[in-house]
Amino acid sequence: MAVQILTKVLLTPVAINACFSSQVFMRSSNLSLRSSMMTVQPFHSHNKNIMLNKFSFDPIQEQLFKENCLLVDENDKVVGYKSKRDCHTVVNNSIPLHRAFSVFLFNENNELLLQQRSRYKITYPEYFTNTCCSHPLYDHEDETKEKDNIGVKIAAQRRLNYELGIPTQEIGMDNIKCITRIHYFDKGDGVFGEHEIDYIVFIKKNVTININKNEIHHTEYVGMDKMEDFLKSLHYPITPWFHFVVQSKLYTWWKNLDQILNSPTDNVIHKF
């Protein structure tokens, strides 16, 4: 399985296998998206609304932190499991590499559903991000299945229901398209951060939404022509994984959405 580090021009077609542009992308604290307003900034795990002290969180989020994520190597091969807490705790500037997914759900008008994470989230509270971001779980046997990315798709369906209240019958496996994968690291504030091989998942469907306020503060559909102004207007930062996708290839994918949804999955892991 190929792993590609984005340090040179990618000379590939415009379709899905052309996943990322020729720009070199390096992770840094001042990396910006078209304007300084879009810069990913460190999150604050000491947020008084979330944390009473270093080890006291919202009880629902604390319970979810006990779920087990799938540990993977740099080729996305499962090598074990650890709790969400362990998979997001920074130790000696390092975080265990684990599997995740990021859903980008578009309605029939090609508008992208965005969310602002709730103030109760342990990581990146109140950050804006794509539709839904989470992990396939070791505890759910179906979510460990590899063929045709079915485990990731089942996990995405589960979290879309949990976070956004989207009925599972509204989004079938055939509606869920794994576009590509990215490998990124973000140490957050040095207490909790991210180190993931993240499946980029696209869905185009009109859906029913009933948000879980413990997970999400706010949702909004945004058209491609309004996205840049929307991001500039935000008074909160955006998550690092959303940042990387916006900066690399989101707009190209968006312009060719129907083609992308019907193209083969890109098997390269793009490393930031």
The bridge status of strand 194-204 relative to strand 98-106 is parallel
pLDDT value at residue 32: 35
Give the C-alpha separation, 268 to 143, whole Å.
Answer: 21
Give the C-alpha separation, 162 to 166, whole Å.
Answer: 8
| Three-class secondary structure of residue 39 per DSSP | coil
Residues in the chain: 272
3-271 CATH: 3.90.79.10
Mean pLDDT by 10 residues, the chain (272 residues): 40 41 36 36 41 69 97 98 98 98 99 98 97 98 98 99 98 97 94 98 98 98 98 96 96 97 96 92
Query: Is 108 annotated as catalytic?
Result: no
pLDDT value at residue 106: 99
pLDDT value at residue 54: 52
The structure's pTM equals 0.84
pLDDT value at residue 55: 55
pLDDT value at residue 158: 99
Q: List, in order, residues 6 or more apart from 28 with CB less than 8 Å away.
A: none
The single residue listed with the structure tokens 């309605």 is 107
Give the C-alpha separation, 122 to 140, whole Å.
Answer: 22
Burial degree of 234 (CB within 10 A; 0-12, 13-18, 19+): middle
**Active-site hit among 19, 69, 87, 133:** 133
Query: Is 133 annotated as catalytic?
Result: yes
3-state SS of 155-189 is: HHHHHHHHHHCCCHHHCCHHHCEEEEEEEEEECCC
**Active-site hit among 126, 143, 163, 196:** 196
pLDDT value at residue 66: 97
